[in-house]
Structure 1
Amino acid sequence: MTCGCNCARRPDTCDLAMTSPSSIAVALNEAERRHFREQGYLVRRILDDAAVARYVDAVDASRRERGDTQRMSNLQFLQPGKAIPGIQDVICNEAILGVCRDLLGERIIVDGASLFYGEAGVDYRQGWHRDVLQVPDDQVDPNWFSEDYHYNYVQMNLSLTVDGCLWIVPGSHRRQLNAEERALFGNTEKMAPVDGAELSEGRQLVLQPGEAVFYNNYAVHRGYGAVLKDRRITIHLGFHSAEHAPTLHFGVLDHTEYTLDYLASLEPCVREALRAHLVERARYPEVNVFHAYHQQFLKKEFKTT
């Protein structure tokens, strides 16, 4: 299956669209945009059943081809040597891009792409945290967690199986840690102990196949499934708007690996999306320091493949 690049319509931005009927158009109203601003998340159906099946088949085929027997993995599927061609066009999905435009503004740039795979029986637990884990403590700015901060990033979990692993504290992206959270986190803004207490305001989000949750990753949240009863397959993406300056998350993709030969091997819409990412990275060389922090974090804290 191929997907088309809509560059002729927006040559200045290379705004990408996948026109397949597998993409379920989603237009947000003001109440929904307000819910995202105030509560920090929004759940929407993105893929139809046929698209979900196509992506699951692509994941299974890729695992067979690589001889991957790991029971749990976090695969950076836009990187050479780790690519899963059958799912890469998800970054061109017009329903996803449309929601991101409604939440952030025009000129959406992909900046994060991983596939989480976990078999039934895997024990999957994270502590409550904000996504500043890669940043040195003395560089964490409390203003990031306030109503005044201009958040220019959307994280998205797209479920290919029934998934209840994302837990979030609604509204916590707009404030400092409250007394209950501070007691749990201790003297850090980053992560609470994995075996720490529950949070009374924590909410579990249960997604059906084809549904996605778009969320502010400065909110207090966690990935938690305990011992998985069923297989979990989720696609995790991050997006930034070129209309505004980046947050510290922009720079997740390892752009240094995007050679001309690799780009030429990709489907047109995927290639153009990564080219747009490279152009945006060149506009903001200061994010290279956060890119380096993130790469170090991946190697030290999370085992990824």
Structure 2
Amino acid sequence: MPSALPHKYHDEIEAQGFTVIREFLTPDEIAKYRAAAEVVIQYAREGNYPYVRTRGKQFPPWPKNFSPDIWGVSGLLHPDLGEKSTPFHECYASEKMLAVVGDILQVGKEGLSMELFNMLINPLTDFGLDWHRDTIKPEASEQEEAQQLLEEPYAGTQFNLALTDDKCLIVIPGSHKRVRTSEEREKTSNDNKKEFITNQLIVELNPGDLVFYNNNILHRAEYSCKSTRVTLHGSYGHVDHGRSRAKGILQHGVAEWLPRFEPKEGNMAMLKEKLVKLAKEFESVDLGYALEG
């Protein structure tokens, strides 16, 4: 039976692996979240918050050092941020954000689970991320890759929400549902892993624009120290498919602070409840890390 839920964004992701929503945020929302983000960025660069993505390291675990040369801040909902995190509760659990996620995952908001909410920023020196899929290792054989691409493609979804001009994300449209071409396999496995790939596309976002994408799409990013980047980056899960999302989410350490996390409103409390159940299911399991680098 056709779903009664809206499915515009689901269909666009199904076709090309990503969907862009222009002017998702109002000018007032952009200003509010940008101001809140700047406070957190300064706090982290000054070494007051250790959960950051240090330049030169692409995947978790990230070292808990205090270099200001960082390209991301993890855990925007972390209780150690105190009141600095309050505006991000509103953003992550907003009705309009959950409506988009429900469209993509084809489930009502009660079927959604909290996952990750981070921030991507410009480092102090240039840095590029390798080509990758978030949960399929580059050394996977063609057979392994084909099998893993079929496993629960709508178990979750992730997003970038730009608060400044953002031309960092580079994707290969359509690559989320097929094995790599010979060119893609070579360029995602060689020593460079950052070379131009045929049909690559830069996802250009203006302040307030939102992109959701399938985390199996081949993608990378280029971070310029000369261009200010303030982009909110996170994910949501489908509560019925949490087991397939567990490694990719829990590798970021969210279960360590989740018991101290106090939601500010109803939607966030509902989302937290689902993640608490998932974390408890895997609390004594060493899931390891999805990728290395």
The TM tier, using the shorter chain, reads: 0.7 to 0.9
Shift of 1:89: 2.5
C-alpha contact (below 8 Å) 1:167/1:202 kept by paired residues: yes
The residue aligned with 1:153 is 156
* Paired residue secondary structure (2:180): coil
Q: Residue 111 of structure 1 contacts residue 253 of structure 1 at CA under 8 Å; is this kept in 2?
A: no
Q: Alpha-carbon deviation of 1:256?
A: 2.6
Task: Say if 2:18 is the partner of 1:44.
Answer: no
Question: Residue 80 of structure 2 corresponds to which residue in structure 1?
Answer: 81
Q: What residue in structure 2 maps to residue 175 of structure 1? A: 178
Tell me which residue corresponds to 1:129: 132
2:21 partner SS: strand
Number of residues of Structure 1 aligned to a counterpart in Structure 2: 257
Q: Distance in 2 between matches of 1:160 and 1:122?
A: 21
Contact 1:169 1:201 in 2 (8 A): yes
Q: Deviations over 1:208-228 (max 9, x none)?
A: 111111001111100114x34
Paired residues of 2:101 and 2:236 also in contact (CA < 8 A): yes
How many Å separate the matches in 1 of 2:117 and 2:221?
A: 16
Alpha carbons of structure 1 residues 237 and 288: separation in structure 2 relative to 1, 3 Å: farther
* Alignment root-mean-square deviation, CA: 3.2
Q: Is the 1:116–1:235 contact (alpha carbons within 8 Å) kept by the matching residues of 2? A: yes
Shift of 1:102: 0.9
Bigger shift: 250-259 or 33-42? 250-259
The 3 A distance-change label for structure 1 pair 66 and 156 is closer
Shift of 1:166: 0.6
1:184 aligns with 2:184: no
Task: Name the residue aligned to 2:213.
Answer: 215
Structure-2 change in CA distance of 1:250 and 1:218 (3 Å): same
Mapped to 1, the partners of 2:97 and 2:191 lie a distance apart of 33
Deviations 1:46-80 (A, max 9, x none): 21111111111112223445662724342122234
Distance 2:227 2:169 in 1: 15
1:116 paired with 2:120, answer yes
CA distance in 2, matches of 1:194, 1:110: 35
Q: Which moved more, 1:230-239 or 1:245-254?
A: 245-254
Report if aligned partners of 2:116, 2:236 keep a CA contact under 8 Å in 1: yes
Change beyond 3 A, Cα 1:224–1:103: same
Which residue of the partner structure matches residue 11 of structure 1?
none
Gaps of 5+ in 2: 48-67
Same amino acid, percent of matched pairs? 21
SS of aligned partner of 1:59 = helix
Change in 2 beyond 3 A, CA 1:229/1:143? same
1:293 matched residue in structure 2: 289
Unaligned runs of 5+ in 1: 1-27, 187-191
Instruction: Give the conservation status (yes or no) of the 8 Å contact 1:166–1:224.
Output: yes
Q: 1:144 to 1:205 in 2, by over 3 A?
A: farther
Q: Report the secondary structure of 1:183's partner residue.
A: helix
1:268 Cα deviation from its structure 2 partner? 2.7
Q: Is the Cα contact below 8 Å between 1:130 and 1:221 reproduced in 2? A: yes
Asked if 1 retains the 8 angstrom alpha-carbon contact of 2:9 and 2:103, the reply is no
Contact 1:134 1:293 (C-alpha < 8 Å) held by counterparts: no
Q: Contact between 2:162 and 2:210, CA under 8 Å: does it hold in 1?
A: yes
